[in-house]
Amino acid sequence: MNYREIAICDVCGKEIKMPTGRFEWGYAPGEAHVCHHTCSYACTNPALMTKDIELDSNIIPPAYVYDLIFATADEGEITIERAREIAANLFGEGVTK
């Protein structure tokens, strides 16, 4: 499993050249997003409690990120629809559960 070449930042709406950026969740009920490091809620508002994963980490494979996105839905942190949107943004259409 691989990332798309380009994803869209859910915070600023601009392109993210993959695999840079972050997947963040847990900052508000039902909310999650993909963003640039510079748009990251964890970086721009350190007092905000977020869960995040750096997509450009060499130790975290894309398949783990994919599973994590759907695990957040399974745990009720985001809806399955939102998980599918995020997965499509990162991995492409037709790659979602």
- pLDDT per position as a tens digit, 26-45: 888 899 999 999 999 888 88
Is residue 1, in this structure, part of any structural domain at all? no
Split at pLDDT 50, 70, 90, the class of 94 is confident
Average pLDDT over residues 62-79: 95
Is residue 97, in this structure, part of any structural domain at all? no
Is residue 10, in this structure, part of any structural domain at all? yes
Is residue 85, in this structure, part of any structural domain at all? yes
For residues 61 and 86, give the distance between their C-alpha atoms in angstroms, rounded to a whole number: 16
The pLDDT score that the predictor gives to residue 57 is 86
The pLDDT score that the predictor gives to residue 96 is 63
Is residue 96, in this structure, part of any structural domain at all? no
- What is the Cα gyration radius of the chain? 12
- Which residue range(s) make up the domain with 21? 6-91
As for how many domains the chain has, the answer is 1
Burial state string for 23-57 with b = 16 or more CB within 10 A and e = fewer than 16: bbbbbeeeebbbbbbebbbbeeeeeeebebebbee
Angle between helical axes of 80-91 and 62-74 (0-180°, round to 10) = 170
